Structure 1
Amino acid sequence: METRETPARTAVPHDPLALVDEVSGWLTTDAAEVDAKITGEDRDRLIDGVRKLNAESLVGDQAAFYAQQLLLARIYQMHTVLPETTTAEGSVFVSEVTRLLEEATAQVEDDWIEPGLLEQAPEEPRAYLSWLKQLARGHRVFKHPYYHEFIRNQADADDLRNYVMQESVVDGRFDDLLAMMQVGTSGRAKMEIAANFWDEMGNGDPDQVHTLLFNKIYEVFEIPPEELERSLTANALLSGNLAVMLSRYRKFYPEAVGFLGMTEWMVPDRFVQVVHAWERLGLPDIGIVYHRLHITVDSQHAAGWFHNVVLPAAESAHMRRAIARGTLWRLNSSARYLDERMPVAAA
């Protein structure tokens, strides 16, 4: 992968986390005040710092990669969590930082796609759908040993505790991702996303809302909210950031179709392994309701998603390419995330 040119300035912070903390410190300040105070050399210094962070991440610097994704995750919290205080949402400065982080993140995911692969997609919608599924079945992530060997047969309670925290970036807010991505849709696609969302809402029963059920796992493992961010790895943060980025922007709607659709398609097989581990360890049943439920529900969701969201969209060459792009972003990023989990969990 090629590195981007970085402007040569001298006052750029060398500590990636120091840059993250400095920019993050402005996220609870009114947008107008942020833009009034971050000007001139200070603004140039921080923007250059973000560019440097991206360049270092692009060439494999793991500290920079972690800082890059942590900063993007903190910015996204302004758009996904109801604030208790003033925020910088709408700040021109924060918007520029966000755009730089998003562009760099997207570039890396595109670089992971095999050259020419997107051009191999069939034009006929049903053939295209079969091709997408075959891409997934042939990908090394499809039956990854993290689930089929480690989680199923070797993981202890601490491993499952860590697993749950890493998965919180997607599972813990899947309902909000669906709510964001459905804006502007119509017809069969909108109805399918709405039906999926309503299932996430427990079909109207507050006690059965899926995010509430997922949070029961936190109670079993006594996971306080402040521990979650500290526990997340760079690749876990990336998984959550990709899901938010693709869901919140209308230009990325087809990528979200591929990304979230593939997420749901892979869930049942993965969660079978998690349930097996949970039962093997004799952990409290209240903590595994979410995973048991999604083994069945997500099989149905994936089938409906492919039929009602992917197939109608696949009439368009633009949509076919973008859906495949989002699918590969999910497969490739998930593979790297699970590769990372193996040595960490087994250490």
Structure 2
Amino acid sequence: MLETIRAFIYSKNLDDSEFDNEYNIFIQQLESLLQSAFQDIDEKSILTVHQVLYEINIAHLSVAWFNKAHNIHHPKIVLIKYKIDQAWNKSIQYNYKDQIQDLPSVDDFPDWIRTTVANHKSNELHPVFTFLRDEANLEQSKEFFFQETPLEMLFGDIIAYLLPGIYGGIKVEFVKNYWDEVGRGIDEKVHRKLRARMMKALNIDESCYLENTELFICEELELINMYLSLALDRTKHTELVGALLATELMIPGRFQYLIDGFRRLGFNDYDLHYHIEHTSVDEVHADDLLDHVAMPILKHDAKQMQALVLGGLRRLDTIHKVLDRLYERVLSNESSYHLVKAA
């Protein structure tokens, strides 16, 4: 289905009758796939769903003068994305229905969310981080780094989706966060470019997240699809704020483990600039996102707490699944990065 959805998105002739039969078959297969993925919890089906959804989501970032995603807003593609997002959202609402009921007061939310993130099993408490710091060899560290590529390379774009349509202090805070992402206007300090610098040091092609969908683990695709699907759906932006808040609260601690591990393997601070940068700026982003975005939203409408908490919990639980799978993967010396062409 991966090649088929690519053909649908990038073909100049999707309206031609020659596609009608193929499209109808695809929709029938998709209906069955969604049931297998979100009702029967079949791992292979879940992987295929997230591969298809990622191809659609990433095509929304297509640059017109480079890579023409001709049909990303075509009703046929919109219907495929809608069906996937609806089935996934239904599953999410069911899985979290109890956790988003017993919530703190607005005044208690800051302490609650900080404690929730700090104590979550996906934080630096996860054993993969001490392993990467103290024991992992170069190949194992490269695989971990490679698998985290989609979200790391697209984080600035996700922030950008929050900018239109909001004003005042919340907009200012998002702009400040985005300004840091783009290196405060200095191209060489753009976070994406700093990340690409480390990819070059590891001999990994920086475009791998665009061209090698099939090499990423299901859990990482689920993570990036969570962010992109929330970003692309304006009704879900409060949930996205919750996911971003959990992200910013978590990143500084875990990145220090990666820095220490790569230093042990011989990498210098020039190569590690991306990671080092995030150990300081994300602490500021976390405080500001909580004080100047989340709390104003809650004080405006306390009912938005369910969406904020849902986004935060989804982020924490999904990254935990990523870490579990990657820990298992690096311990068994599985890898995909070597299948990507060198930078």
Aligned AA for 2:193? L
> Which aligned pairs between 1:202-281 and structure 2 lie closer than 5 A?
202-224=183-205, 225-226=207-208, 228-281=212-265
**Structure 2 residue 84 is the aligned partner of structure 1 residue 122:** no
Equivalent residue number for residue 322 of structure 2: 337
Equivalent residue number for residue 85 of structure 2: 102
Q: Distance in 2 between matches of 1:36 and 1:236?
A: 35
Instruction: Choose from 78, 87, 92 the match for 2:59.
Output: 78
- The answer to whether the 8 Å contact 2:242/2:309 transfers is yes
Q: Distance in 2 between matches of 1:299 and 1:122?
A: 23
- Name the % identity: 21
State the Cα deviation string for residues 209-254 of structure 1 (Å, max 9, x = none): 1100010111111112347434311111111111111122210110
> Which aligned pairs between 1:306-345 and structure 2 lie closer than 5 A?
306-315=290-299, 316-345=301-330
Q: Distance in 2 between matches of 1:100 and 1:154?
A: 44
**Structure 2 residue 143 is the aligned partner of structure 1 residue 159:** no
* TM-aligned CA distance change 1:153 to 1:112, over 3 Å: farther
1:140 CA drift (Å): 1.8
Q: Distance in 2 between matches of 1:261 and 1:204?
A: 24
Q: Distance in 2 between matches of 1:138 and 1:246?
A: 25
Equivalent residue number for residue 29 of structure 1: 11
- Report the 3-state secondary structure (helix = DSSP H, G, I; strand = E; otherwise coil) of the residue aligned with 1:183: coil
Moved more, 174-183 or 100-109: 100-109
TM-score (norm 1): 0.88
Uncovered stretches (5+) of structure 2, i.e. residues with no partner? 333-343
1:39 CA drift (Å): 6.9
- Report the 3-state secondary structure (helix = DSSP H, G, I; strand = E; otherwise coil) of the residue aligned with 2:161: helix
Moved more, 68-77 or 21-30: 21-30
Q: Distance in 2 between matches of 1:160 and 1:287?
A: 14
Instruction: Choose from 261, 267, 275 the match for 1:291.
Output: 275
TM-score (norm 2): 0.89
Instruction: Choose from 146, 157, 167 the match for 1:176.
Output: 157
State the Cα deviation string for residues 170-190 of structure 1 (Å, max 9, x = none): 111211111112221222111
State the Cα deviation string for residues 275-307 of structure 1 (Å, max 9, x = none): 010111112433211000100000011010000
Q: Distance in 1 between matches of 2:212 and 2:281?
A: 26
Moved more, 84-93 or 290-299: 84-93
* TM-aligned CA distance change 1:108 to 1:287, over 3 Å: farther
* TM-aligned CA distance change 1:108 to 1:159, over 3 Å: farther
Instruction: Choose from 71, 86, 90 the match for 2:73.
Output: 90
Q: Distance in 1 between matches of 2:67 and 2:99?
A: 46
- Report the 3-state secondary structure (helix = DSSP H, G, I; strand = E; otherwise coil) of the residue aligned with 1:140: coil
> Which aligned pairs between 1:135-154 and structure 2 lie closer than 5 A?
135-154=116-135
Q: Distance in 2 between matches of 1:281 and 1:269?
A: 20
Work out the number of aligned pairs and report it: 325
- The answer to whether the 8 Å contact 1:72/1:98 transfers is yes
- The answer to whether the 8 Å contact 2:118/2:250 transfers is no
